[in-house]
């Protein structure tokens, strides 16, 4: 039997998109019917712009999430057109039967690449978050839309169906679970007590040699990027409380995820060397999934400044509960926070005074056990859906016909005409884009040649 070649693509725009792609790859690689190609775009400009707007102009970002017209997604695709060149190269090289994307801008570039190459793989887009979506994720152009969409709850499907006017049968209910690194760490250490006792096996030297296995351990993370600086305000409040009550230093310790922000890591290290009230703060720079899994399992519960499904299910797996969401990176994360609260595995606390009270209130054993029980139930339900995904993928591939686009999307004749015009423009821009790049490169070579002759 010929294996189905599945190309799973993701891009840096926060870490959740890559985590989702990794999870799909892990699931499908276990099934002999698939040959999996995992691709993460090295392009960082999407992540850079996403981090900047959510850090400096969050109100603008949330306005876009709430009120953006559908056409905005098409303009974003034009802005990120450099992804098309990469996608053409990738699709020509891999020749996939199925393409799964986890970010709309990259997925739409892949759709343009298919048009340029005149190929028609089954194309599936993943809408990662729970709850309603943003119009910025959905293109006006029919030919940039997915053949099938993966969603995770009914409200997401209803919103997309209403906005895209597509047939409900072209949705797949996906499932979430933690990546293998997180399930493996739980199997390895068995209990959270063992995990914290062995934390120095993974993180050794100063200041990690000061970590105690007897303290309540709180993990603080913002989701990376420039937004990690938002944590500093919380750390100062905690330090101020500890300065007035030194007993807190003996009862609590805080693991702070700094990610790739070395400046923030150095800042915490510098302050903790000179201030007693910062002695129980332990900053961590970027780490791989295996190390992060150990850190989560060694922690009692987290405080999040951003919440994505991938993060949620890693915390559920490592029993790092209750999940306390303090801030959101944008309105698109509200459905994830609601999921946590509605399933009684955590809390959404926006006010700083209430958050501090929650942090320094001792959790009852029965309360924690209830969170763990609810987490097990969610994991079981989501894992069951995820295990059905490979079979579902085979079924829809076998019956898929690329020519049936007007069965998938019920739109007017004028809408169809406009989409044809748009895809013609988008596809033919590629020739201009390649010529422009060629001309720029020739000009650079000419300048270098002239300089060499002059010197």
Local confidence band at 344 (pLDDT 50, 70, 90 cut-offs): very high
| pLDDT score for 229 | 65
Q: What is the pTM of this model?
A: 0.85
Task: Show the beta-strand stretches assigned E in 177-306.
Answer: 216-221, 252-259, 281-285, 301-304
Q: What is the rounded distance in angstroms from the CA atom of residue 266 to the CA atom of residue 115?
A: 48
Token pair 């019917």 is found at 33
CATH number at 4-174+387-442:
3.40.50
Q: Calculate mean pLDDT across residues 145-156.
A: 92
Residue 295 dihedral angles phi and psi, to the nearest 5°:
-65, -40
What pLDDT is stored for residue 61 in this prediction? 75
The domains of the chain are located at 4-174+387-442, 180-363
For residue 23, what are the CA distances in angstroms to 157, 201, 222, 239, 273?
A: 21, 26, 22, 38, 39
Q: Which residues pair with 124 in a beta bridge?
A: 100, 148
Average pLDDT, the chain: 91
List, for residues 354-385, the tens digit of each pLDDT value.
Answer: 999 999 999 999 999 999 999 999 999 999 99
- List Cβ neighbours of 446 (8 Å cut-off, separation of 6 or more): none
Match 């993990």 to its residue by tokens: 219
Q: How many CB atoms lie within 10 A of CB 135?
A: 19
Report the pLDDT value the prediction gives residue 227, as an integer from 0 to 100: 53
Residue 224: predicted pLDDT:
52
Residues 180-363: name the CATH superfamily: Glycogen Phosphorylase B; (3.40.50.2000)
Q: What is the pLDDT of residues 52-89, one digit of tens each?
A: 777 777 777 777 777 777 788 898 888 889 999 999 99
pLDDT surpassing 60 at residue 320: yes
**The domains spanning 4-174+387-442 and 180-363 adopt the same CATH topology:** yes
- Render 251-273 in DSSP notation, one character per residue: HEEEEEEEET-HHHHHHHHHHHT
E strand or H helix that includes residue 34: strand 34-40
């Amino acid at each position: 039997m010929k294996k189905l070649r599945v190309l799973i693509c993701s891009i840096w725009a926060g870490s959740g998109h890559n985590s989702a792609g990794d999870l799909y790859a892990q699931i499908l690689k276990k099934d002999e019917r698939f040959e999996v190609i995992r691709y993460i775009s090295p392009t960082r400009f999407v992540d850079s712009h996403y981090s900047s707007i959510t850090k400096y102009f969050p109100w603008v970002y949330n306005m876009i999430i709430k009120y953006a017209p559908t056409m905005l997604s098409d303009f974003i695709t034009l802005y990120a057109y450099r992804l098309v060149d990469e996608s053409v190269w990738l699709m020509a090289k891999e020749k996939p039967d199925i393409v799964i994307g986890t970010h709309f801008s990259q997925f739409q570039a892949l759709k343009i690449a298919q048009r340029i190459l005149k190929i028609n793989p089954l194309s599936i887009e993943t809408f990662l978050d729970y709850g309603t979506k943003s119009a910025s994720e959905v293109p006006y152009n029919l030919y940039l839309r997915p053949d099938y969409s993966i969603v995770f709850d009914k409200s997401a499907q209803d919103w997309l169906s209403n906005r895209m006017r597509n047939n409900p049968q072209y949705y797949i209910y996906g499932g979430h679970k933690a990546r293998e690194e997180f399930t493996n760490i739980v199997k390895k250490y068995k209990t959270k007590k063992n995990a914290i006792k062995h934390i120095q096996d993974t993180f050794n030297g100063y200041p990690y040699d000061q970590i105690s296995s007897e303290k309540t351990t709180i993990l603080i993370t913002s989701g990376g990027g420039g937004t990690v600086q938002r944590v500093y305000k919380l750390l100062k409040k905690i330090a101020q409380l500890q300065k007035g009550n030194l007993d807190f230093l003996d009862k609590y310790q805080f693991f702070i995820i700094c990610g790739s922000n070395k400046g923030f890591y150095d800042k915490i290290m510098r302050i903790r060397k000179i201030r007693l009230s910062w002695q129980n703060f332990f900053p961590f720079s970027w780490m791989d999934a295996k190390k992060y899994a150990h850190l989560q399992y060694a922690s009692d519960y987290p405080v999040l400044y951003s919440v994505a499904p991938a993060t949620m299910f890693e915390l559920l797996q490592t029993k790092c509960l209750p999940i306390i969401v303090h801030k959101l990176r944008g309105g698109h994360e509200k459905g994830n926070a609601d999921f946590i609260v509605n399933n009684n595995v955590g809390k959404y606390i926006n006010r700083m005074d209430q958050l501090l009270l929650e942090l320094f209130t001792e959790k009852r054993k029965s309360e924690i056990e209830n969170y763990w029980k609810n987490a097990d139930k969610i994991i079981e339900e989501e894992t069951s859906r995820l295990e059905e995904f490979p079979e579902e993928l085979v079924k829809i591939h076998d019956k898929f016909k690329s020519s049936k686009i007007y069965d998938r999307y019920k739109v007017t004749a004028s809408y169809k005409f406009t989409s044809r015009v748009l895809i013609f423009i988008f596809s033919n821009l590629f020739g201009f884009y390649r010529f422009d790049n060629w001309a720029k490169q020739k000009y650079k070579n000419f300048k270098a040649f002239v300089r060499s002759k002059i010197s």
